[in-house]
Amino acid sequence: MKKGVRIIIKGMVQGVGFRYYVHHSARRHYLKGWVKNLPDGRVETVAEGDEEELREFVKEVKKGSRFSHVDEAQVEWLSYTNEFHNFQITD
Catalytic residue among 37, 55, 82, 86: 37
Cα–Cα distance list, 84 to 1, 14, 29 (Å): 17, 24, 15
Catalytic residue among 19, 27, 42, 66: 19
**43, β-bridge pairs:** 9, 37
Active site residue 27: no
Active site residue 6: no
Question: Known catalytic residues?
Answer: 19, 37
